[in-house]
Amino acid sequence: MRASRYLKTSKYHVLYNEDCLETAQRLSDNFVDLIYTDPPFYTDRLFQRGNYRFDDRWDDVDEYMFWLKPRLQEFKRILKSTGSIYIHCDWHVSHNIKVLADKIFNRSNFLNEIIWKRQSSHNDASQGSRHYGRIHDSIFVYAMSSDYTWNQQYTPYSESYLKSAYRHVDPESNRKYALGDLTGPGGASKGNPKYEFLGAERYWRYSKQKMEKLLASGKISHKKGRLPYLKRYLDEMNGRQLQDIWSDIPPEKGNNYKYPTQKPERLIRRIVKTSSNEGQVLYDPFVGSGTSGVVCSRLSRNWIGSDISCEACNLTFERLQALDCQVFFEPWMNLHVCEPILVQE
């Protein structure tokens, strides 16, 4: 199979209405920078919302895993050595997928299991359930090598943390600051230097030369008879480093929620910003409502998407077109209403 000629241009969005296995086979080795894959969850349900639906019914879990395996293998082939893959799933088969993904992508390349808390509660006890409320999805993250793209993301500090930590105020600048530990955790075993500084001999986090510079610049707080502390000014901080439990992104709802199991833009945006840079390529094998394409357009990423559902492709096309993208149809295939569609900005 031949890939789109538009994949050779500098900026593109390409959509295929076909099985993602076929689309992946069109792509060259080491072509994609990031894959976000949101496959069926093995729920044994037929999902429908308005005119959009998809079938997630299988004979058994073996059939599902047999179907998934060659797709993950192709995804590995097309990823660059600096690339990453995010595999979105839930409790139904997350454990099965983790075992398979460890074999395909190598367990040593596993970075995180992200827990996305998509609901605050799930009250189905009245329907006879006898288990804890299932309110989260899992997203497994694998890198292709140690040289993967990573842009650290941050979340705002909570009000309670700001009040407790940033309670100090510089009398000259009126800037708020917190006090940070300057001692070296792990001591000599972590390679931290040992010397005397302001009357205290300790293993320190920084070299003596750097500590002297911090002191001269007014970045160290010290009272006689006590250990010195680093002043961490609030206006210099990015926020709290993003952790692997994401409870700050609610599910899609309201007028924006059109497709069954549609994921919120904020969720995809966080993934794209973390694991790709402007001009790089994201592949979404199960586009659904096209949220990843919308996010990539807004963040100046190139995007390739595929979905076997014509309804999903039409919805994706409409959302991309609403962003004033120019639409082209490939001439080299027998087309139907949405196969394939190119959206180029």
Tens digit of each residue's pLDDT (9 = 90 or more) over 182-201: 999 999 999 999 999 999 99
Q: How far is CA 164 from the centre of its chain?
A: 30
Query: Per-residue confidence at 5, pLDDT binned at 50, 70, 90?
Result: low
Strand pairing category for 32-37 and 79-89: parallel
- CATH fold, domain 19-153+242-307, is Rossmann fold (3.40.50)
DSSP letters for 96-125: HHHHHHHHHHTGGGEEEEEEEE--S----G
Give residue 335's pLDDT band: very low, low, confident or very high (50, 70, 90): very low
| CA 263 remoteness from chain centre | 12
Res 272: pLDDT:
98
- Model's pTM, two decimal places? 0.89
Secondary structure string (H, E, C) spanning 179-213: EEECECCCHHHHCCCEEEECCEEEEECCCHHHHHH
Give backbone dihedrals phi and psi of 20, rounded to 5 degrees, phi first.
Answer: -60, -25
Instruction: Name the β-bridge partners of 306.
Output: 16
On the 0-12 / 13-18 / 19+ scale of CB atoms within 10 A, 157 is middle
Q: What pLDDT, on the 0 to 100 scale, is given for residue 329? A: 38
C-alpha dist (Å) from residue 260 to 48, 92, 160, 287, 312:
6, 17, 37, 12, 10
What token pair was written down for 94?
A: 């997350």
Number of alpha helices (DSSP H) and beta strands (DSSP E) in the chain? 8, 20
pLDDT (tens digit per residue) in 255-306 = 777 888 899 999 999 999 999 999 999 999 999 999 999 999 999 999 999 9
Determine the pLDDT at residue 28.
Answer: 95
As given in the structure block, the two tokens for residue 159 are 């009000």
| 319 contacts 293 by C-beta, under 8 angstroms | yes
Mean predicted confidence (pLDDT) in 152-164: 96
**Token pair of 276, please?**
């790709």
Please provide residue 155's backbone torsions phi and psi, each rounded to the nearest 5 degrees. Answer: -120, 150
The segment(s) of the chain belonging to CATH 3.40.50.150 are 19-153+242-307
CA distances from 13 to 19, 34, 35 (A): 18, 14, 14
Question: Alpha-carbon distance 297 to 13, whole Å?
Answer: 8
Question: What single DSSP character describes residue 33?
Answer: E
Structure confidence at residue 327 as a pLDDT band (50, 70, 90): very low
Mean pLDDT, the chain, integer: 90
